[in-house]
Amino acid sequence: MKELFEDGRRRMDKTVKTFKEEMARVRTGRASVSLLEGIKVDYYGTKMPIPQMATVTVSEGRYIVIQPWDVSTIKSIEKAIMESELGLTPTSDGQVIRINVPPLTEERRKELVKLVRKMAEEARVAIRNIRRELMDDLKKKKKEGEISEDEFHRFQDEVQKLTDEFIGKIEKILEDKEKEILTV
């Protein structure tokens, strides 16, 4: 049984970690290096994240500065940023790329809140799917006589507590992100 719960906890933890990473990529009007982590650049036939091919820093809170280690990749990096869903426009002087991260409009903030709520619901569904799989395993073990009826109900309660714990983590991340988006 212990392995079953450890596996469930590990999978739920991975779901929360993935959700947290997705939230970091949602633009909030503040410049952040994490905005670029999801953008892959074609680098000699290989797709690479920008932070793996350049020094990325934030300047004055509104600008992201990208200094590629290989200057010949500037055009590829600019193209990848333009094609991303971030809606940012890079400018380059041939050595460094600068991206101005403009403040968000009220309409865009509302759209982003809807987006992060949808992403949170997807994460909650993933957690519930893991719970369902754990419950199915418990039912199977009960049917095969590996656990008693009392153990089954106790384990069922433990699975629900585990599920509630991770749903709570998702709610906290969502709440923090909504505040970040709605705060000017």
What is the CATH classification number for the domain harbouring 76? Answer: 3.30.1360.40
Beta-carbon neighbour count of residue 141 at 10 Å?
Answer: 16
**What confidence tens digit (pLDDT) does each residue in 46-88 have?**
888 888 889 999 887 788 899 999 889 999 999 988 888 777 8
CB-CB contact of 116 with 177 (8 Å): yes
96 and 113 in a single domain? The answer is no
The CA distance from 184 to 176, in Å, is 14
Residues of the chain with pLDDT under 50: none
Let me know the angle formed at the C-alpha of 117 by 115 and 122, rounded to the nearest 5 degrees. Answer: 95
Helix residue spans in 2-148 (DSSP H): 2-24, 74-83, 106-143
109 and 62 in a single domain? The answer is no
The CA distance from 92 to 100, in Å, is 12
What's the domain range around 139?
A: 1-26+105-182
Query: How many residues would you count in the chain?
Result: 184
49 and 115 in a single domain? The answer is no
pTM beyond 0.85, yes or no: no
Q: How many structural domains compose the chain? A: 2
CB-CB contact of 87 with 78 (8 Å): no
The CA distance from 124 to 172, in Å, is 12
**Long-range CB contacts (within 8 A, 24+) of 151-158:** 151/1, 155/1, 158/5
7 and 47 in a single domain? The answer is no
pLDDT, residue 29, reads 67
Which SS3 state, helix, strand or coil, does residue 63 take?
strand
pLDDT, residue 183, reads 81
Tokens of 11: 């999978």
pLDDT, residue 16, reads 96
Give the contacts of 100 (CB within 8 A, at least 6 positions apart). 62, 63, 88, 89, 91
